[in-house]
Structure 1
Amino acid sequence: MSASLVETVDIEAPVAVTWALWSDVSRWPSFLSHVRLVEPLDERRFAWQLSLPGADKNFVAELTEVIPGDRIAWQTTEGVHHAGVVTFHRLSDTSSRVTLQIEYDPKGFVEHIGALTNLDSTLANYDLGEFQKLAETAAAG
């Protein structure tokens, strides 16, 4: 039984800017509030360190699909199981919509992370608001 979380944000920045920021995995800790470090292992695999209330977690995620300017998908291969996809939509020459969807197994997640963590709020903190600020600053820059 998996659960999913979907978040969407409209950003005053063209797709080229939002895509460029998100596709640089090393920048994820600057806008994903629970991600402390993302370290490339090879072309497709990355080691993540998450910093969560009362727990630090590590897992390895693999990029399963990368379509430039359109979507990035990943799934974990070690550690807490989840899969995610982020898609980029052109609204106009100067604005875009970014949608983040995460599928996870609530039971496994809670066992790994600890029942005290409110999972939905944790995942909701994959904070698109921070990303929006970053992208709009970059677009204005």
Structure 2
Amino acid sequence: MTTTVTATTEVEVPIRVAYDQWTQFETFPEFMTGVEQITQLDDELTHWVVSIGGVRREFDADIGDQVPDRHVAWRSVGEVAHRGIVEFTPEGPDRTRVDLELEWEPEGFVENAGAVLQIDDLQVKNDLRRFKDFIEHRGAETGAWRGEVHGGEATSDGGYVPGSTPPPRPTGERRTSDDGVSGADPDIAT
């Protein structure tokens, strides 16, 4: 049984600020209660440690499609089934709608019970509300990555189907931390 949860919020920041903050995966634990840690391994690969309902999982996730100020889509690599897409829509010069869709396959009694009782829905909606509070309180992103990733299957409306197979990873600019220092290029051997 696959669980799909959607949530929407509007944030009182320009679309670029909201989008740029979302590219900073390592900050997710600051507003997502089920995420213990995310490590950005390269432009398109992240390592997640999550705990939902006391069930701890670790997995890698591949960013399959990413377009600045439009969307970021990712999917797990390996046995754990986890997909997500977040889309950004300008609602004015300083207001952005954020639409989040997460999909995963619950395992075991606790995760299945959470899905049936819609506890997962509540957690995702609360996490998106915390993102709103986080970015509005800061007023600026903690960092940004403006590169693009194209892969997977496109939808008729220009979206992306999470879970489709992305193309090989290109090289390009690297994500930067809030101090502006770029990470090492993993494509260059030392």
Same fold (TM over 0.5): yes
Q: Which has the higher contact order (CA 8 A, sep 6+)?
A: 1
Instruction: Pick closer, same or farther for the CA change 1:122–1:2 going to 2, 3 Å.
Output: closer
1:80-139 Cα distance to aligned partner (Å, 9 max, x none):
20211000010001111000012333xxx2x2xx31230342354231010000111122
Larger gyration radius, structure 1 or structure 2: 2
- Where does residue 123 of structure 2 map in the other structure? 125
Structure 2 residue identity aligned to 1:115: F
Gaps of at least 5 residues in structure 1 are none
123-132 or 83-92, larger mean C-alpha shift: 123-132
Structure 2 residue identity aligned to 1:54: G
Structure 2 residue identity aligned to 1:99: D
Q: Which residues of 2 match residues 1-141 of structure 1 at below 5 A?
A: 2-105=2-105, 109=106, 111=107, 114-117=108-111, 118-119=114-115, 120-122=118-120, 124-126=122-124, 127-139=127-139
TM-score calculated relative to the size of structure 1: 0.86
Asked if the contact 1:7–1:124 (Cα under 8 Å) also holds between the matched residues in 2, the reply is no
Asked if the contact 2:51–2:57 (Cα under 8 Å) also holds between the matched residues in 1, the reply is yes
Asked if the contact 1:17–1:138 (Cα under 8 Å) also holds between the matched residues in 2, the reply is no
Gaps of at least 5 residues in structure 2 are 142-190
Task: Measure the CA separation in 2 of the matches of 1:26 and 1:60.
Answer: 13
Asked if the contact 1:14–1:139 (Cα under 8 Å) also holds between the matched residues in 2, the reply is no
Higher helix share: 1
Structure 2 residue identity aligned to 1:68: P
Higher strand share: 1
Instruction: Pick closer, same or farther for the CA change 1:57–1:123 going to 2, 3 Å.
Output: farther
Q: Calculate percent identity across the aligned residue pairs.
A: 26
Task: Measure the CA separation in 1 of the matches of 2:120 and 2:5.
Answer: 11
Asked if the contact 2:17–2:140 (Cα under 8 Å) also holds between the matched residues in 1, the reply is no
